[in-house]
């Protein structure tokens, strides 16, 4: 598994070697393997946690709790895609209920009978304006897990994506391998990113994803997440390659409520292909199996005030 920072500092390359055998997420070249991380506990019985910020409000003109708009056929044709089925209305009784205090839940899927999957996109290295255009046209909801030091050169790129109703969550300061650093370093990785992302985007990230899914089920990481504000650790069941998905299930099929991992990547890491081409391939794989894409946060009940 190659790490995302192939062209970045040597410190990133060293981290990649450590996790090569683990084959967890956040790889480069589109090889974002799902590894063992998504095999963590599901969201069926979330635990309690500390105060967290609320998800980003829906953009003006939308109805709270309504299903995301599907985008019209002409918009899909513009990107050489077949439309996805429309997502159902957001459930009134959220299957994932987060608490204000106590250990945070770790989950890689959401327990639902709705034939939906949830797209999550990590890191933030590629800032392709065509991708903003694509999501504006297609109205496919995504959840963004941003790494502070990867996005800080252009925080503004993600604001139009946020304005579409897509939520921004925490993916550490500098993509550290969490199980390889001391508890205090784990805390600073999460808390410092939480502070920066809250300041830049106006709401505290509700969710956290450790790079590669590493250390997700350890007490040290859970304590650090609690101390910094996110109320759940989110992993994944599938990860997107350049042209196809890597599945944890032996039958290589999506299931209702699966969380799918992708990355903000460009031609350097996608063997010459663009972010929009990779995203289009992912949507085609989802469409072939008859799934809709729903907004992950619509299935999560944040802690009560």
Over residues 195-220, the pLDDT tens digits come to: 999 999 999 999 999 999 999 999 99
Per-state percent for the chain, helix, strand, coil, to nearest 5: 30, 15, 55
Integer angstrom CA distances of residue 9 from 98, 115, 128: 37, 41, 22
- The pLDDT of residue 1: 35
- The pLDDT of residue 288: 97
Whether pLDDT at 15 is above 60:
no
- The pLDDT of residue 26: 66
The four Cα atoms 138, 234, 88, 287 give a dihedral, to 10 degrees, of: 50
Domain boundaries defined on the chain: 39-301
- Record the tokens describing residue 105, joined without a space: 């839940």
Over residues 94-125, the pLDDT tens digits come to: 999 999 999 999 999 999 999 999 999 999 99
The C-alpha atoms of residue 96 and residue 222 are separated, in whole angstroms, by 17
- Of 146, 157, 158, 263, the residue nearest 196 (C-alpha): 146
The string of DSSP letters for 164-223 reads: TT-EEEE--SS---GGGS-HHHHHHHHHHHHHHHHHHHSS--SEE--GGGTTTT-HHHHH
Whether pLDDT at 3 is above 50:
no
Average pLDDT over residues 126-148: 98
Q: Read off the pTM.
A: 0.82
* Kind and range of the H or E run holding 301: strand 300-301
Residues in the chain: 305
Residue 189 near residue 150 (C-beta atoms within 8 A): no
- The pLDDT of residue 32: 37
- The pLDDT of residue 72: 86
Average pLDDT over residues 70-81: 88
Name the 3-class secondary structure at 262: strand
- The pLDDT of residue 46: 37
Residue 229 near residue 253 (C-beta atoms within 8 A): no
What would the CATH number be for the domain defined by 39-301? 3.20.20.370
Whether pLDDT at 48 is above 60:
no
- The pLDDT of residue 256: 98
Q: Are strands 116-123 and 143-146 parallel, antiparallel or unpaired?
A: parallel
- The pLDDT of residue 122: 98
Over residues 258-276, the pLDDT tens digits come to: 999 999 999 999 999 999 9
| Cβ neighbours, 10 Å, residue 59 | 11
Whether pLDDT at 34 is above 80:
no
Query: b/e for 121-158, b at 16 or more Cβ within 10 A?
Result: bbbbbbbbeebbebbebbbbbbbbbbbbebbeeebebb
């Amino acid at each position: 598994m190659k790490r995302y920072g192939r062209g970045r500092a040597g410190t990133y390359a060293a981290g990649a070697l450590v996790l090569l055998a683990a084959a967890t997420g956040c790889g480069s070249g589109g090889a974002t393997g799902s590894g063992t991380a998504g095999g963590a506990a599901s969201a069926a019985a979330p635990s309690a946690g500390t105060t967290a910020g609320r998800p980003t409000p829906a953009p003006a003109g939308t109805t709270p709790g309504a299903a995301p708009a599907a985008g019209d056929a002409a918009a899909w044709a513009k990107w050489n895609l077949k439309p996805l089925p429309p997502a159902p209305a957001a459930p009134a009784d959220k299957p994932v209920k987060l608490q204000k205090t106590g250990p945070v839940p770790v989950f890689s899927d959401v327990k639902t009978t709705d034939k939906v999957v949830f797209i999550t996109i990590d890191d933030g290295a590629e800032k392709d304006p065509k991708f903003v255009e694509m999501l504006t046209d297609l109205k496919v909801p995504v959840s963004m897990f941003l790494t502070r030091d990867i996005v800080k050169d252009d925080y503004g790129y993600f604001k139009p994506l946020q304005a579409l109703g897509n939520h921004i969550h925490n993916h550490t300061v500098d993509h550290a391998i969490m199980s390889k650093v001391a508890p205090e370093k784990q805390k600073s990785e999460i808390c410092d990113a939480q502070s920066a992302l809250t300041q830049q985007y106006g709401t505290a990230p509700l969710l956290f994803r450790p790079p590669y899914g590493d250390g997700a089920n350890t007490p040290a990481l859970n304590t650090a997440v609690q101390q910094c504000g996110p109320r759940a650790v989110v992993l994944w069941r599938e990860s997107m390659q350049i042209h196809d998905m890597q599945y944890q299930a032996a039958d290589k099929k999506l299931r209702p409520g699966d969380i799918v991992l992708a990355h903000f990547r460009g031609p350097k890491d996608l063997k010459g292909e663009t972010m929009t081409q990779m995203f289009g391939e992912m949507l085609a794989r989802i469409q072939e199996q008859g799934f809709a894409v729903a907004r992950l946060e619509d299935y999560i009940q944040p802690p009560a005030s």
